[in-house]
Chain A
Amino acid sequence: MIRVSTRIAGLLMLTLVLAGCGKKVTRVSSNSTIDLSGRWNDTDSRLVAEEMLRDCLNSSWYYTYQAQKKTPTVIVGSVKNKSHEHIDAETFTKDMERALINSGKVEFVANKGEREQLRDEKADQGRNASVETRNKAGEESGAELMLIGSINSIVDQEGSKAVVFYQINLELVQIESGRKLWIGDKKIKKYVTKNSTKF
C-alpha cells in the first residue's frame, strides 16, 4: 500500500515538474498592460507620451497660436535618460511623435537623423531623377518649437522589496527665442516585490 502511494506521489510530482517545462506564447493587444520585471516598459512609454502631450496641446501656448491662426511646427529633440535603466529612448520619442501627429493640432517635421536621410535622397535625385519629379533642396519646413526632456528615477530598495519612482520632464521650447512655452511632468511609482526563495 505504501509503495503504491509513493509511486502515485512520484508520478504527480513528475507531472507537475513536466507541466512547468513547456513554453507557451499568447498574443495580447499592444495596448494591454503587462508588468513582469517592474522595469520601464512599453506601457509606461505609451501612457507617458499620450498623457503628457495631451496636457501640452491643451495648454495656453497653443491657444495663443490658435488666436493668431497659426499652426505650430514642432520637432522632437532629445529625451535624456538619467534614470537607472537602459530605456529605449527611440520608442519613447516615436510614441511622442505619433501622439503629436495624431492630435492634428500641430505640424510636425522629421528629426535630425531622418532629415539627413531625406537630404541624401534629394542629393541623389538631383543627380539621377528627371527635372519634373525632382524634389528641391532648401525647401524644408523649419520647426518653430522643440520638445526636449529627461527621464529620472529614484529607487528605494530593501531586500526583496523596492519602490521605483520615475519622473519624466518635458519642455516645449521656442527655437528662435529659447523661450519655454510649456513644462510638464509625469510621475510613475511602482512597488516591486521579488521572491527570495524558490523550490
Chain B
Amino acid sequence: MRFPVSSRAALPGLALLSLLLAGCANRGLTRYDAIVKQASSQDYLAAVKVLKKERAKLYGSQSALLYNMDVGLLYHYGGVYDSSIVYLRRAVDVHEELFAKSVTNEAASLLVNDNVRPYRGRSYEIVWLHLFLAFDYLALDRADDARIEMRQAEIFLNEVKRKAGGDAKAFRDDAAFRAFSALVYEALGERDDAAISIYAAVKNLRQRKQPVPPGMAAYAWRLLDAEDRPNDIRELDLQPPAVKPARFPGGGELVVIGALGRSPALGETAFWGTWVRDGVLVYYYRDANGKVVSQALPAPGLPQSEYEKGRGRNTRSGTTLHLKWAMPSLREVPSQSRLLRVAADSAGAAAGEAWGDTRELLQQDLDEGRTAMLTRTVIRVAVRTLAAEKTKAQMRTDNPIVNLLLSLGTDALADQLEQADVRLWFLLPRTLNVARIPVPAGNHTLQVAAENAEGKVVRVETLQAHVRPGKTRFVFFNSLK
C-alpha cells in the first residue's frame, strides 16, 4: 500500500493530534463534577483547596476570570470575607483586562471551539461579581467600600444598556442588584440614591413583566414617598403598604441576606449526523432525558450557479458529509432551599423574599446570545467539515479499507474538536433572599434557616450581630443544598 507523500506526512500528525484531543474533556463539565459535591455539603474551604490544587486541569489558561470568581465566592460562603475580596477583586481586574479581544483567539475559536476564547463572563455574572464584593464589604462593616462596588456595577450596566440599543430582549438591568444597591445607599444615609436605585429595580421588573416581590414593592413605596416622588410611585403602580414597619426608638435594622439553592448549570447538547448533498440531513441528539432522538430533514439543495459549474467534485450530488455540532443548554439543578426564615431574639421573626433568581438571568442570557452562538457554530462546522473533506481527499489511497479507516479517523478527530462552551459561574446561588428586622440597638442572636417547599428546615445556623443605634447591620447566610 502506498500513500501519497502529503498523506504519509499528515498521518502521524493526525494520529498525535487525535491522541492529544482524546484527553481533552470539556473542562466546564469536569469542573462542575469536581467541586459541586463539597459546595453542596457546605464544605467551602475544602472546595477552595480542590480548585487551587487542580487549577490547571479544571480551568486551563482561558478561564482566569472564572477561577477567581469561583474561589472568591467559595470564600464568601465560607465567611472568609477578606480572602473573598482578594479573589473577587482579581476577577474584576481580569475582566477589565479582557476588554481587548485577541484576534488570534477569535480566529482559533472559529476552527476549534469557543473554549479557546478567554471566558469574559455573562453580563449578569459581572453585576453579581460586584454585588458579592459589596456583600463582603458589608459583612466587614465597610459600607463605603460596598458603595464603590455598586457604582462600578452601575457603570458596567450603563455600558451593557448602551450596547443593547433597541433590542428589547437584551439584558439591560438587574432588579436584584438595584434593590440591594438601594439598601446599601440607605444604610449610608444617601436616600436620594437609594430612591433612584429602587425605582430602577421595580421598573426593570415591570418592563420584563415579572412580579415585584411584595417586600420590595413596599420598600420602593416608602423610599420614593420619603423623597417626594409621587410621579415615580404612579408610574410604577405602587400602593402604600398596609402595615408600617415597627421601629424601635434609638434602634437599628438587621438585614439578613440569604443565598439559597444552586444556580442552574450548563450542559452540552451534541448533534451529529450525515448530510447527503441534494438528499437528506439525518441528525441525532440526546434529549433532556438522555434519550437519543433522530431527525431527518430534506437537505438544502445546491444553488443553480453550482450546478452550472459542471461535474466538479464540489457539486457532486449524493456526496455524504459527516457533521457534528454542540450547543450549551440549560441544565436544571434541583434546589431544596427555597425560603429564608429569620428569628431575632428580641424582635420576633421574619420571612425572607427572593429578590434575584439566577435561573431567569441565565435563561435570558442564553436567549439573547442564541443567534450569535448559532452563527458562530454554523461557520465553525462549515469550516471544519470542508477542512475534513479536503484532508480525506488528500489522503485517499487505492485501498478502500484504508480509505474508510482514514475517513472515520478524520471524522472522529473533527468530532473531538467540537465542544460547547459551557463555562458558567454555577456556584452562584439559585436565589438571593432578603429578610429585614427592626431591632433595638445592641447585640442580637439570630436563628437563620433555609426551608424547603414543604416548610421543612434544610439548614439552620445561629448568628450573632451587633446593631448600632440608627444603623443597619448586614448578616449573610447560605444554604446551597
Contacts and interface: CB of A to CB of B under 8 A. Distances in A.
Interface of A: 80-86, 153, 155, 157-160, 194-199
B159 A157 contact: yes
Give the top 7 A-B pairs by smallest Cβ distance, nearest first: A84-B151, A198-B100, A195-B100, A155-B155, A194-B99, A198-B102, A197-B101
Contacts of A84: 148, 151-152, 154-155
A82 B103 contact: no
Contact of B100 (A80, A153, A157, A194): A194
B148 A81 contact: yes
Contact of B99 (A81, A158, A160): A160
B394 interface: no
A86 B145 contact: yes
8 contacts: A83-B151, A84-B148, A86-B148, A160-B99, A194-B99, A195-B99, A196-B101, A197-B102
Contacts of A159: 159
Contacts, number: 42
B443 interface: no
A199 B148 contact: no
A38 to B, nearest CB: 11
A199 B103 CA distance: 5
A10 B154 CA distance: 46
Interface in B92-114: 99-104
A173 B155 CA distance: 34
A198 B101 contact: yes
A107 to B, nearest CB: 30
Interface in B76-101: 99-101
Interface string B140-159: 00001101100110110011
A75 B103 CA distance: 54
A192 to B, nearest CB: 11
Contacts of A157: 155, 158-159
Contact of B148 (A83, A160, A194, A198): A83
B309 interface: no
B104 to A, nearest CB: 6
A197 B144 contact: no
Given A198-B101, A198-B103, A85 B148 contact: yes
